[in-house]
Structure 1
Amino acid sequence: MQLTSFTDYGLRALIYLATLPEGELTSITVVTEKYGVSRNHMVKIVHRMSKIGLVEAVRGKNGGIRLGKSADRIVIGDVIRALEPLQLVNCEQQNCHITSACRIKGALARALDAFLDEMDRYTLHDMVSGNDDLQHLLIPTRPL
Protein backbone atom coordinates (compact mmCIF):
# COMPACT_ATOMS: atom_id res chain seq x y z
CA MET A 1 0.00 0.00 0.00
CA GLN A 2 1.22 3.47 -0.80
CA LEU A 3 -0.34 6.66 0.49
CA THR A 4 -1.23 9.30 -2.08
CA SER A 5 0.89 12.43 -2.23
CA PHE A 6 -2.16 14.28 -0.89
CA THR A 7 -2.03 12.33 2.38
CA ASP A 8 1.77 12.27 2.45
CA TYR A 9 2.02 16.06 2.15
CA GLY A 10 -0.87 16.51 4.57
CA LEU A 11 1.00 14.52 7.20
CA ARG A 12 4.20 16.46 6.46
CA ALA A 13 2.38 19.77 6.83
CA LEU A 14 0.93 18.68 10.16
CA ILE A 15 4.36 17.57 11.36
CA TYR A 16 5.81 20.95 10.43
CA LEU A 17 2.99 22.82 12.19
CA ALA A 18 3.45 20.65 15.28
CA THR A 19 7.13 21.64 15.52
CA LEU A 20 6.25 25.33 15.81
CA PRO A 21 5.68 26.93 19.21
CA GLU A 22 2.05 26.46 20.21
CA GLY A 23 -0.25 28.90 18.43
CA GLU A 24 2.45 30.29 16.13
CA LEU A 25 1.30 31.02 12.60
CA THR A 26 3.19 30.20 9.45
CA SER A 27 2.30 30.36 5.78
CA ILE A 28 1.52 27.73 3.19
CA THR A 29 4.46 29.12 1.23
CA VAL A 30 6.85 28.35 4.09
CA VAL A 31 5.54 24.78 4.31
CA THR A 32 5.80 24.21 0.56
CA GLU A 33 9.32 25.60 0.44
CA LYS A 34 10.36 23.45 3.37
CA TYR A 35 9.28 20.26 1.56
CA GLY A 36 9.76 21.37 -2.05
CA VAL A 37 6.17 20.63 -3.08
CA SER A 38 3.68 22.44 -5.27
CA ARG A 39 2.05 25.41 -3.55
CA ASN A 40 -1.22 24.81 -5.44
CA HIS A 41 -1.31 21.20 -4.23
CA MET A 42 -0.58 22.28 -0.64
CA VAL A 43 -3.34 24.93 -0.78
CA LYS A 44 -5.85 22.16 -1.57
CA ILE A 45 -4.50 19.95 1.19
CA VAL A 46 -4.55 22.71 3.81
CA HIS A 47 -8.05 23.72 2.72
CA ARG A 48 -9.30 20.15 3.26
CA MET A 49 -7.52 19.89 6.62
CA SER A 50 -8.98 23.22 7.74
CA LYS A 51 -12.50 22.03 6.84
CA ILE A 52 -12.09 19.04 9.17
CA GLY A 53 -10.43 20.99 11.99
CA LEU A 54 -6.87 19.70 11.71
CA VAL A 55 -5.56 23.10 10.61
CA GLU A 56 -6.74 26.58 11.50
CA ALA A 57 -6.44 29.11 8.70
CA VAL A 58 -6.33 32.71 9.90
CA ARG A 59 -7.16 35.28 7.24
CA GLY A 60 -5.87 38.81 6.98
CA LYS A 61 -2.63 40.75 6.97
CA ASN A 62 -1.20 38.87 9.95
CA GLY A 63 -2.85 35.58 9.01
CA GLY A 64 -1.45 32.17 8.32
CA ILE A 65 -1.97 28.58 9.32
CA ARG A 66 -1.45 26.58 12.51
CA LEU A 67 -2.69 23.38 14.06
CA GLY A 68 -6.45 23.35 14.56
CA LYS A 69 -6.14 21.37 17.80
CA SER A 70 -3.34 20.18 20.00
CA ALA A 71 -0.96 17.61 18.53
CA ASP A 72 -1.84 15.07 21.21
CA ARG A 73 -5.45 15.08 19.97
CA ILE A 74 -4.57 14.46 16.30
CA VAL A 75 -4.55 10.70 15.72
CA ILE A 76 -2.53 9.66 12.68
CA GLY A 77 -5.07 6.99 11.70
CA ASP A 78 -7.82 9.61 11.66
CA VAL A 79 -5.72 11.89 9.45
CA ILE A 80 -5.20 9.06 6.97
CA ARG A 81 -8.92 8.21 6.98
CA ALA A 82 -9.78 11.86 6.34
CA LEU A 83 -7.30 12.41 3.51
CA GLU A 84 -6.77 9.07 1.82
CA PRO A 85 -9.15 7.37 -0.60
CA LEU A 86 -9.09 4.00 1.17
CA GLN A 87 -10.63 1.79 -1.50
CA LEU A 88 -7.75 -0.56 -2.30
CA VAL A 89 -9.51 -2.37 -5.13
CA ASN A 90 -12.62 -1.67 -7.17
CA CYS A 91 -14.91 -4.63 -6.56
CA GLU A 92 -18.03 -3.33 -8.26
CA GLN A 93 -19.67 -6.00 -10.40
CA GLN A 94 -19.24 -4.07 -13.66
CA ASN A 95 -15.47 -3.74 -13.06
CA CYS A 96 -14.67 -7.29 -12.03
CA HIS A 97 -16.42 -10.48 -13.07
CA ILE A 98 -15.14 -12.53 -10.08
CA THR A 99 -16.55 -10.24 -7.37
CA SER A 100 -19.14 -12.77 -6.18
CA ALA A 101 -16.45 -15.42 -5.49
CA CYS A 102 -13.43 -13.27 -4.69
CA ARG A 103 -11.69 -13.68 -1.35
CA ILE A 104 -8.94 -11.14 -1.90
CA LYS A 105 -11.25 -8.20 -1.13
CA GLY A 106 -11.84 -9.56 2.39
CA ALA A 107 -8.14 -10.12 2.96
CA LEU A 108 -7.37 -6.60 1.74
CA ALA A 109 -10.08 -5.15 3.97
CA ARG A 110 -8.61 -6.92 7.01
CA ALA A 111 -5.11 -5.74 6.09
CA LEU A 112 -6.34 -2.16 5.75
CA ASP A 113 -8.09 -2.41 9.12
CA ALA A 114 -4.86 -3.70 10.70
CA PHE A 115 -2.89 -0.83 9.15
CA LEU A 116 -5.36 1.77 10.42
CA ASP A 117 -5.52 0.13 13.85
CA GLU A 118 -1.73 0.46 14.07
CA MET A 119 -1.81 4.10 12.94
CA ASP A 120 -4.53 4.80 15.55
CA ARG A 121 -1.90 4.07 18.20
CA TYR A 122 0.00 7.25 17.31
CA THR A 123 -0.73 10.93 17.64
CA LEU A 124 0.95 13.83 15.93
CA HIS A 125 2.54 14.59 19.31
CA ASP A 126 4.17 11.14 19.27
CA MET A 127 5.78 11.98 15.94
CA VAL A 128 7.38 15.25 17.07
CA SER A 129 7.83 15.09 20.84
CA GLY A 130 11.47 14.77 21.84
CA ASN A 131 12.51 14.49 18.20
CA ASP A 132 15.41 16.94 18.22
CA ASP A 133 16.65 15.75 14.82
CA LEU A 134 13.29 16.68 13.31
CA GLN A 135 13.34 20.07 14.99
CA HIS A 136 16.80 20.81 13.55
CA LEU A 137 15.72 19.74 10.06
CA LEU A 138 12.50 21.74 10.01
CA ILE A 139 13.09 24.78 12.19
CA PRO A 140 16.31 26.67 11.59
CA THR A 141 18.10 28.00 14.65
CA ARG A 142 16.82 31.46 15.37
CA PRO A 143 19.38 34.16 16.11
CA LEU A 144 19.41 35.49 19.67
Structure 2
Amino acid sequence: MQLTSFTDYGLRALIYMASLPEGCMTSISEVAEVYNVSRNHMVKIINQLSKAGYVTAVRGKNGGIRLGKPAQEIRVGDVVRDMEPLSLVNCSHEFCNITSACRLKLALSGAVQSFLHELDKTTLADLVVENKPLYKLLLVE
Protein backbone atom coordinates (compact mmCIF):
# COMPACT_ATOMS: atom_id res chain seq x y z
CA MET A 1 0.00 0.00 0.00
CA GLN A 2 1.31 3.42 -0.87
CA LEU A 3 0.29 6.46 1.13
CA THR A 4 -0.66 9.66 -0.65
CA SER A 5 1.84 12.50 -0.48
CA PHE A 6 -0.77 14.35 1.62
CA THR A 7 -0.57 11.70 4.35
CA ASP A 8 3.19 11.31 3.94
CA TYR A 9 3.81 15.03 4.48
CA GLY A 10 1.28 15.05 7.31
CA LEU A 11 3.31 12.40 9.12
CA ARG A 12 6.53 14.28 8.35
CA ALA A 13 5.06 17.52 9.72
CA LEU A 14 4.11 15.72 12.94
CA ILE A 15 7.61 14.21 13.18
CA TYR A 16 9.11 17.67 12.82
CA MET A 17 6.87 19.15 15.53
CA ALA A 18 7.53 16.18 17.83
CA SER A 19 11.28 16.73 17.38
CA LEU A 20 11.03 20.25 18.79
CA PRO A 21 11.26 20.85 22.54
CA GLU A 22 7.89 20.16 24.20
CA GLY A 23 5.41 22.97 23.65
CA CYS A 24 7.69 24.76 21.18
CA MET A 25 5.94 26.54 18.33
CA THR A 26 6.93 26.46 14.69
CA SER A 27 5.31 27.83 11.56
CA ILE A 28 3.72 26.25 8.53
CA SER A 29 6.32 28.01 6.39
CA GLU A 30 9.14 26.47 8.41
CA VAL A 31 7.71 22.95 8.11
CA ALA A 32 7.15 23.44 4.38
CA GLU A 33 10.73 24.63 3.97
CA VAL A 34 12.21 21.70 5.92
CA TYR A 35 10.50 19.22 3.59
CA ASN A 36 10.72 21.33 0.42
CA VAL A 37 6.97 21.31 -0.20
CA SER A 38 4.81 24.27 -1.17
CA ARG A 39 3.44 26.35 1.67
CA ASN A 40 -0.07 26.16 0.18
CA HIS A 41 0.04 22.36 0.23
CA MET A 42 1.32 22.38 3.82
CA VAL A 43 -1.49 24.75 4.86
CA LYS A 44 -4.03 22.16 3.70
CA ILE A 45 -2.17 19.37 5.49
CA ILE A 46 -1.87 21.29 8.76
CA ASN A 47 -5.54 22.26 8.53
CA GLN A 48 -6.51 18.57 8.31
CA LEU A 49 -4.15 17.65 11.17
CA SER A 50 -5.62 20.47 13.23
CA LYS A 51 -9.21 19.34 12.60
CA ALA A 52 -8.21 15.85 13.78
CA GLY A 53 -6.64 17.28 16.95
CA TYR A 54 -3.02 16.39 16.20
CA VAL A 55 -1.94 20.01 15.77
CA THR A 56 -2.85 23.16 17.65
CA ALA A 57 -2.69 26.45 15.77
CA VAL A 58 -2.23 29.66 17.74
CA ARG A 59 -2.98 32.95 16.02
CA GLY A 60 -1.28 36.25 16.65
CA LYS A 61 2.16 37.77 16.94
CA ASN A 62 3.59 34.92 19.01
CA GLY A 63 1.48 32.28 17.31
CA GLY A 64 2.35 29.25 15.29
CA ILE A 65 1.67 25.55 15.30
CA ARG A 66 2.60 22.74 17.68
CA LEU A 67 1.45 19.25 18.55
CA GLY A 68 -2.11 19.18 19.82
CA LYS A 69 -1.39 16.31 22.20
CA PRO A 70 1.70 14.54 23.52
CA ALA A 71 3.65 12.56 20.93
CA GLN A 72 3.22 9.35 22.94
CA GLU A 73 -0.57 9.68 22.49
CA ILE A 74 -0.44 10.00 18.71
CA ARG A 75 -0.57 6.60 17.02
CA VAL A 76 0.65 6.47 13.43
CA GLY A 77 -2.31 4.24 12.50
CA ASP A 78 -4.78 6.87 13.72
CA VAL A 79 -3.07 9.59 11.69
CA VAL A 80 -3.21 7.42 8.57
CA ARG A 81 -6.91 6.67 9.18
CA ASP A 82 -7.66 10.38 9.54
CA MET A 83 -5.60 11.50 6.53
CA GLU A 84 -5.74 8.70 4.00
CA PRO A 85 -8.58 7.61 1.72
CA LEU A 86 -8.34 3.90 2.56
CA SER A 87 -10.56 2.54 -0.17
CA LEU A 88 -8.24 0.46 -2.37
CA VAL A 89 -10.72 -0.41 -5.09
CA ASN A 90 -13.94 1.09 -6.43
CA CYS A 91 -16.67 -1.40 -5.54
CA SER A 92 -19.66 0.63 -6.68
CA HIS A 93 -22.24 -1.22 -8.77
CA GLU A 94 -21.85 1.39 -11.53
CA PHE A 95 -18.14 0.61 -11.83
CA CYS A 96 -17.99 -3.14 -11.31
CA ASN A 97 -20.56 -5.74 -12.30
CA ILE A 98 -19.32 -8.45 -9.87
CA THR A 99 -19.62 -6.34 -6.70
CA SER A 100 -22.44 -8.39 -5.21
CA ALA A 101 -20.41 -11.63 -5.42
CA CYS A 102 -16.86 -10.27 -5.08
CA ARG A 103 -14.57 -11.63 -2.39
CA LEU A 104 -11.62 -9.49 -3.38
CA LYS A 105 -12.99 -6.50 -1.46
CA LEU A 106 -13.05 -8.62 1.72
CA ALA A 107 -9.43 -9.70 1.22
CA LEU A 108 -8.35 -6.12 0.57
CA SER A 109 -10.29 -4.87 3.58
CA GLY A 110 -8.53 -7.44 5.77
CA ALA A 111 -5.16 -6.37 4.39
CA VAL A 112 -5.89 -2.71 5.16
CA GLN A 113 -6.94 -3.62 8.71
CA SER A 114 -3.72 -5.60 9.21
CA PHE A 115 -1.70 -2.67 7.85
CA LEU A 116 -3.41 -0.24 10.25
CA HIS A 117 -3.09 -2.66 13.17
CA GLU A 118 0.67 -2.74 12.59
CA LEU A 119 0.85 1.07 12.43
CA ASP A 120 -1.16 1.30 15.67
CA LYS A 121 1.83 -0.25 17.46
CA THR A 122 3.91 2.86 16.73
CA THR A 123 3.47 6.27 18.30
CA LEU A 124 4.92 9.54 17.15
CA ALA A 125 7.19 9.43 20.21
CA ASP A 126 8.59 6.07 19.05
CA LEU A 127 9.75 7.79 15.87
CA VAL A 128 11.52 10.74 17.49
CA VAL A 129 12.59 10.07 21.08
CA GLU A 130 16.38 9.84 21.35
CA ASN A 131 16.72 9.82 17.55
CA LYS A 132 19.85 11.96 17.29
CA PRO A 133 20.33 11.34 13.55
CA LEU A 134 16.82 12.72 12.98
CA TYR A 135 17.48 15.77 15.16
CA LYS A 136 20.66 16.46 13.23
CA LEU A 137 18.87 16.21 9.87
CA LEU A 138 16.07 18.47 11.04
CA LEU A 139 18.54 20.90 12.64
CA VAL A 140 16.78 20.57 15.99
CA GLU A 141 18.98 20.52 19.08
> Under a length normalisation based on structure 1, what TM-score does the superposition of the two structures give?
0.95
In the other structure, the counterpart of 1:99 is 99
RMSD: 0.9
How many residues in Structure 1 have an aligned counterpart in Structure 2?
A: 141
Q: Structure 1 residue 51: deviation in Å?
A: 1.3
In the other structure, the counterpart of 1:38 is 38
Q: Structure 1 residue 27: deviation in Å?
A: 0.5
In the other structure, the counterpart of 2:68 is 68
1:72–1:106: structure 2 CA closer, same or farther, 3 Å change rule? same
Note the 1:49-60 alignment, pairs <5 A: 49-60=49-60
Q: Structure 2: 5+ residue runs without aligned partners?
A: none
Q: Which amino acid in 2 is paired with 1:47?
A: N
Q: Secondary structure at the match of 2:66?
A: strand
1:6–1:51: structure 2 CA closer, same or farther, 3 Å change rule? same
Q: Structure 1 residue 101: deviation in Å?
A: 2.0
CA contact (8 A) 1:54 1:67 kept: yes
Q: Which amino acid in 1 is paired with 2:32?
A: T
Q: Distance in 1 between matches of 2:130 and 2:21?
A: 14
Q: Which moved more, 1:97-106 or 1:87-96?
A: 97-106
Q: Structure 1: 5+ residue runs without aligned partners?
A: none
Q: Secondary structure at the match of 1:56?
A: strand
Q: Structure 1 residue 140: deviation in Å?
A: 4.8
- Percent identity, aligned pairs only, is 63
Q: Deviations over 1:22-76 (max 9, x none)?
A: 0010101110000000110100110111112100101001110000000000000
Q: Which amino acid in 1 is paired with 2:79?
A: V
Structure 1 moving runs of 4+ over 2 Å = none
Q: Which amino acid in 1 is paired with 2:117?
A: D
Q: Which amino acid in 2 is paired with 1:126?
A: D
